[in-house]
Structure 1
Amino acid sequence: MHLAEEREWHVLLHYRRTLLGGTESMQDDPGFFLSQEGKTNSQAELAATLAGFFSEELIGRSKQPAQCAFVARYYWLNEKLRFDATRLSPHPCERFTRWFDEFNADAITVIFPSGFMNNPSSMFGHTFLRVDGKEQTPQTRILAYTINYAAQLPADAGVEYAIKGIFGAYPGYFSTIPYYLKVQEYRDIDNRDIWEYRLNLTAPQVRRLLMHTWELGNAYFDYFFFGENCAYHILSLLEAAEPSVHLLDRFPVYTIPIDTVRLVRESGLVGEVVSRPSRSTLVRRKRASMSADEQVWFDRLIRNPANLQSEGFRALQQDRQAFVLETASDYLLQHSAVGGEEGTPFRDKNRAILRARSELKVTPRDLPIEPYVKQPDLGHGTSRIGIGAGWRNHRAFEETNIRAAYHDLLDPEPGFTPDAQIEIMSLSLRHYHDQSQARVERFSPISIVSLAPMDSLSQLPSWKVNVGMQTI
C-alpha cells in the first residue's frame, strides 16, 4: 500500500508535479508540514503525520494536537488503516467540532461576483464558497457563512498591491465571513451582480471540504494575482471534496475566475444557478418597467423628495406610487452605501421617501429582476489564438494572433460586462511574403477600455488604458 502516492494524499497536501518530475506542495507555510522535508517529500510527510497523531504537542498557528489540526488527514488515514483505538486514542477536538457544527452544513455554493471595472483587483471577478445550512431557505441563505481566500494586505497597499500581487509578495489566507457582509460589499457598494452556483455534493463530500478548510486555517499560500489566486485555491477545496475531479490541472500557468466556474459546471458539479442582481441592476430594471410619466416622477423624487407633495405624483394610483417610491429608495440606498459624509444627503432623502412609502398601505410589487449580463459561465473562453491573411500596400502577409485573456469589444458579449474590454498579453506576429522572417506587429501586456453609458442614473466617466507597441 503506497499511501504517500495516492491522489487523496496529494490533494490534502497540495502536491503538484514539478517540471523536473518531482513533487512539491503549493503550500508555503512551514507549519503546515510535520516533516522538515514535507514540502517536497510525500512519504516523509506521511510518516511524520502518523507519528504526530500519537503526540499531544500543539502545532500550527492554531496550536492544536496533530489529530485536530489536520482532521482531514486523520479522517482519510483512519479510513485506509483502520486505527486501533486502544493504541491510538482519537482526540475529541472540541474546537473543530464546535466550528463544524455551527455551519450545520447541507450544501456548498460557489459564488461569483461579476467583474468591477473601477477596481484592478476585481476586474476579472472573484470566487468564494457559501456553506448553506440545513435549516436555511433560499431567502435566509444570506445569513450563511462563506469560505473566502484572499491576500492579506497592509492598509495602505494601493497600487503596490497590483505589483506585489503579481509576484506573490503577499500571503493568502482562508477565512469564514457571513455572506450578508460579502453581499453588502459586492452587490450594494461595488454594484456587482452576484451569481450563485449551488453544487450537488453529497454529505460526505461536504464534510471532507469543511475538514480540509479547517486544516488550511493553519497555514498560508503565497498569493499570486494571475496564478495561485482566489479561484485557484477554491478549486483545491472542491478537489478535497471529490479527489477524482482534476480541476487544477487545467490551470498550470494562470487562473481566470470565470474559467474555473465554467470548468466546475462542465465537470457536472453544479446543480442550480441563481442570480442576485446588484442594486444598480435592480434600479435600472424597475425604472425601465415604469411608464414615461412614472419615470419623470422617479427622477424628480431622487433629486428632491419635496416633490412627494406634488399633485401630479399623488394623482398616480397608490400601487404605482408605492412602486416609484420603492425604486427611488433602492437608488438612494445604492448611493448612500459609500458611507461617511458623502452618503449623508442620500440617507436623508431616503428617510423622507421611506416615510412616504410607509403611509401607503399597499403590498410591495414582486418584479422578477434579471441581470443585464447573461450567466457568466455560458460566455466565451478567455484565451484565444487566431490566424489570418491579408494584403497591405501591395504586399501579402499571414498573421498569428494570441491572447492570454480576457475579452475585447468585438467578442460575443453574453457573460461579460457590456461596453468593456480587458486584454492581457495580446500578441500579433506578421510575416510578409517578401521577407524571410516574421515580425511583431502588435504587443500589448494590458489593454483596458470602459465605455460607461451616461444617463440620468449614472454619470461614470469612460476611460481606457493601453500599454504596448505597434509596428508602423
Structure 2
Amino acid sequence: MRRLWLTTLLLCSLFSPFVHANIATLSQDSQWLSLLHFDRETPFSPPRSAVIDSAFFLAENGRYDPQAELEATLAALREPPDEPGSHASCRFPARAVWLSTKTGEQWPSAECPEFDEWQAQHQDSEIGLMFATGYLGNPASFFGHVMLHSSAPKTQSSSTNTQYLLDTSLNFGADVPNDEGLVTYMAKGLFGGYDAQFSNASFYRNTALYSEREMRDLWHYQLGLTDAEKSLLTAHLFEIVGKDYEYLFLSQNCASRIARTLELVIEDDLTPGYSPWVAPENLLRALSNTTHHGKPLLVETQQIPSRRLTTQREFNALNSHQQRAANAVWPSENDLRMDAPLFTVLSAAQRSEVLDTLLSHASFLRQTGDIEKLPEIERQLLQARLSLPTGRADVSNEAMPAIHEVTPPSLVSFSGVHNSHSNNGARLRFRPLQYDLLDTNQARMPNSAVEIATVEINTNDQGVSLNRLGLFNITNLHTNAIALPTLPSTAWQISAGIERNRLSCRRCFDGIANVLGGKSWALGQHLPYALAGAQLRTQRHYDGIAVPMLEAGVVSSWSPSQRTHIQLSHRPNMGYNNRQRTEWQVQHRIALSTQWDMRFEFQHDYSANEASIGLSRYF
C-alpha cells in the first residue's frame, strides 16, 4: 500500500510540471489571446485585453494575465452547474469549445437558455462584414464604418435590395452622451474617455439609419469560412455583445476591434498592431488580399445603394421624355401637377416608371429636410401609382467598384519644383489619410475631400524646410445629381494647419484655420463652387489675426483617370497694411493605376510663381 502511495505521489509530481507547462503554452496561443481580445504588444504599451468589463474575466487579473484567465476558466468549466445560464460554458461557450478541443476534456452538462436562443437565431448563418461609406456629418464616420454581419444563406431568387433586411448586424460603437459638445466629443474620441460596445440589432434598423437617413451606400463582404469556424465565431460573438471596450477614434475603433475578432478564426494579422490609425478601408483591403485554406477569404461583395443613389439611378434610367415629364409633374418643392401634359401623354407603363422615381425621391426628401406639403405630395403620388400597372423590375446599373478596389487612402509623392524666387528644388509629400478633390471617387463620398495630417517638405540649394503641415482639410461640395426639386444644400470647407506666408519665403510660416460656406453647381463634367467665410491666422509677419476670405473654383472630370481643380482665393489683410491678397492655383491629376498617379500644379501669389510635376504612390 505504501509503495502504491509513493508511486502515485511520484507520478503526480512528474505530471504537475507537465500540466503547468502545457497551460503556459496554451495561454500564449493566438486563438486564446483572440478570445480574450488581447492586443498585440507594441513599443508603447504592454499586452492587455481591450475589454475593460470585469464580467468578461474569471480571474482577478485576467485582463493582464492570459495564463491566470486560462486557469480560472478551466476551473470554472470543471465545476458542476448551478442556476440555468450561470455555468462558465454558458457564459463563455467559445472558450468552452476551444479548450475542450485543445485539452480533450468534456465539461459538465449545463442548461444555457440564452445561448441556446442565440444559436437558434444564428444557425447556419453566413459571417461577413457590412461597410457603410463615409459620412461627413460625424467626425467618427469620416472614413466609413464597418459592422459584423450574420445572414441566412441567400438564394438566387432573393431580391438584391431586400434580402438583407432580416439579417443581424453587430455594431461596435462608442457610448456617447446625447448632450456631449463637439469639442469634448473630439477630445475624448482622440485621447480617450469613452467606452464602446458590440450591440446586436436587426439589419433593417441599420439600413434605416445609414441608407435612408444618412444617405450612405452599404457594401456586404461575404467571407469564406468553414462551418467549424463560423460556429466558433458565432459562439464568441455571444460572449462579447454588451461588454465594455476601450475606444479611440483612430486606433481602438470598429475596424481594429472587428479585425481582432475575426483573427480568432483567421491566422493572418488583418491590421498592424503598431499603426497609430486603423481605418475600415484598411481592414477591407486586408480581407481582399487574404488567402484562407488555399482560397480567397473574400467570396463576393454586394452593394446596397442608399436612397440617394437609388433615386439617381431610377431617374437616369428614364428616357428623355420621361425625365421631362417628371420635372413637369414636380417642378418645385411644394408644387405637384399630376395633370401636366408632358406626363399624361405617356403610356401607362411609362407613367408607372416616372411615379416610381418620384416616390423614391419623396422618400429621399423625407429624410433630408422638412418640406411643408411633402405628406400630401406623397399621398397624391401613391394614389396615382396604385391606379397604374406594375412597373419595371429593379433598374440594371453599371457595377461600381467597392472601396477595396479603388485608390488606397495613404499617399507619398515626390515632385520637382520650380519657384520664380528661389529657383529649382524638390518636394516630398506624405498624406496618411484619406483623399482629396482630385482622387475622390464614387466608392467614397463624391465631390468631397478628407485629408488628415498632410506633410510637405521642400529641399533645394538653400537646405531642407517645411512647405506645409495640414492638420485637416474637410470639404463637401454638395450637389444635386438629378434635376428634381431638393432642399437648398450648403457647400462647405473647414481646414487647419501651418503653411508658408508667401511663396517667396522659405521659412515664413503662419498657423491658419479656414471656415467657409457657400454653393456648388453640377454642370455636366464640371463642378463650379463659390465659398465665403473667414480665415483665422497667427499674427506673425503682421498680417492680422482675423481675415475675411472668399474662395471660388471648379473641379472638372475629363475622364475616369483625369481631373483638374482650379482655385482662386482672395482675402484682405486687416491690420498691418490692409494689403489685398489674391492667390490662385491649378492642379491636374492623371491616374496611371489605382496605386500611381502624376500631378501637375501651378501656384501664384503676389510674391512669386511656383510650378511642380510629381509622381505619387498610394498604399
- Same fold, judged at TM 0.5 (above): yes
Residue identity opposite 2:51 in structure 1: Q
Query: What residue in structure 2 maps to residue 144 of structure 1?
Result: 167
Task: From 44, 48, 65, give the equivalent of 2:87.
Answer: 65
How far 1:245 sits from its partner (Å)?
2.2
SS of equivalent to 2:232: helix
How far 1:122 sits from its partner (Å)?
2.0
CA 1:384–1:44: 2 relative to 1, 3 Å: same
Query: What residue in structure 1 maps to residue 123 of structure 2?
Result: 104
Aligned residues of 1:188 and 1:334 also touching (Cα < 8 A): yes
Query: What residue in structure 2 maps to residue 468 of structure 1?
Result: 497
1:116 aligns with 2:135: yes
Query: What residue in structure 2 maps to residue 420 of structure 1?
Result: 448
1:301 aligns with 2:329: yes
Map 1:168-183; keep pairs closer than 5 Å.
168-183=192-207
How far 1:134 sits from its partner (Å)?
4.2
SS of equivalent to 1:377: helix
How far 1:343 sits from its partner (Å)?
5.7
Query: What residue in structure 2 maps to residue 14 of structure 1?
Result: 37
Map 1:321-470; keep pairs closer than 5 Å.
321-337=351-367, 342=370, 345-370=373-398, 374-392=401-419, 393-411=421-439, 413=441, 415-435=443-463, 438-454=464-480, 456-457=483-484, 458=486, 459-470=488-499
How far 1:121 sits from its partner (Å)?
2.6
Aligned CA RMSD, in angstroms, stands at 2.5
CA distance in 2, matches of 1:127, 1:58: 39
CA 1:21–1:282: 2 relative to 1, 3 Å: closer
Aligned residues of 2:288 and 2:297 also touching (Cα < 8 A): yes
Aligned residues of 1:115 and 1:124 also touching (Cα < 8 A): yes
How far 1:90 sits from its partner (Å)?
3.1
CA 1:278–1:431: 2 relative to 1, 3 Å: same
Query: What residue in structure 2 maps to residue 257 of structure 1?
Result: 280
How far 1:22 sits from its partner (Å)?
4.7
CA 1:163–1:134: 2 relative to 1, 3 Å: same
State the Cα deviation string for residues 317-346 of structure 1 (Å, max 9, x = none).
11110000000000001111358xx36632
> TM-score by structure 1 length?
0.90
SS of equivalent to 2:207: helix
Greater helix fraction, Structure 1 or Structure 2: 1
Aligned residues of 2:259 and 2:283 also touching (Cα < 8 A): yes
CA 1:251–1:375: 2 relative to 1, 3 Å: farther
How far 1:162 sits from its partner (Å)?
2.7
Task: From 153, 165, 177, give the equivalent of 2:176.
Answer: 153
How far 1:413 sits from its partner (Å)?
3.1
CA 1:127–1:20: 2 relative to 1, 3 Å: closer
Aligned residues of 2:429 and 2:456 also touching (Cα < 8 A): yes
SS of equivalent to 1:442: strand
CA distance in 2, matches of 1:364, 1:388: 52
CA 1:396–1:321: 2 relative to 1, 3 Å: same
Aligned residues of 1:106 and 1:203 also touching (Cα < 8 A): no
How far 1:189 sits from its partner (Å)?
1.1
Which protein has the larger Cα radius of gyration, Structure 1 or Structure 2? 2
Aligned residues of 1:277 and 1:370 also touching (Cα < 8 A): no
Aligned residues of 1:323 and 1:364 also touching (Cα < 8 A): yes
Map 1:211-250; keep pairs closer than 5 Å.
211-217=235-241, 219-240=243-264, 242-249=265-272
Query: What residue in structure 2 maps to residue 82 of structure 1?
Result: 104
How far 1:31 sits from its partner (Å)?
2.6
SS of equivalent to 1:143: coil
Residue identity opposite 2:173 in structure 1: A
Shifted more, 349-358 versus 17-26: the winner is: 17-26
Query: What residue in structure 1 maps to residue 302 of structure 2?
Result: 274
CA distance in 2, matches of 1:158, 1:64: 40
Shifted more, 158-167 versus 312-321: the winner is: 158-167
CA distance in 2, matches of 1:370, 1:247: 31
The total of aligned residue pairs comes to 461
CA 1:23–1:109: 2 relative to 1, 3 Å: closer
Query: What residue in structure 2 maps to residue 284 of structure 1?
Result: 312
Q: Which structure would you say has the larger RCO, counting Cα contacts within 8 Å and 6 or more residues apart? A: 1
Residue identity opposite 2:163 in structure 1: T
How far 1:305 sits from its partner (Å)?
6.6
State the Cα deviation string for residues 41-63 of structure 1 (Å, max 9, x = none).
2211111111222347999xx98
Query: What residue in structure 2 maps to residue 210 of structure 1?
Result: 234
SS of equivalent to 1:155: coil
Aligned residues of 2:81 and 2:110 also touching (Cα < 8 A): no
SS of equivalent to 1:248: coil
CA distance in 1, matches of 2:178, 2:79: 39
CA 1:176–1:218: 2 relative to 1, 3 Å: closer
CA distance in 2, matches of 1:20, 1:367: 52
Query: What residue in structure 1 maps to residue 215 of structure 2?
Result: 191
CA distance in 2, matches of 1:345, 1:33: 56
Residue identity opposite 2:326 in structure 1: F
SS of equivalent to 1:466: strand
CA distance in 2, matches of 1:439, 1:395: 15
State the Cα deviation string for residues 253-277 of structure 1 (Å, max 9, x = none).
2111112111111113211111111
Structure 2: any 5+ residue segments left out of the alignment? 1-21, 291-295, 502-619
> TM-score by structure 2 length?
0.70
How far 1:219 sits from its partner (Å)?
2.1
How far 1:243 sits from its partner (Å)?
3.7
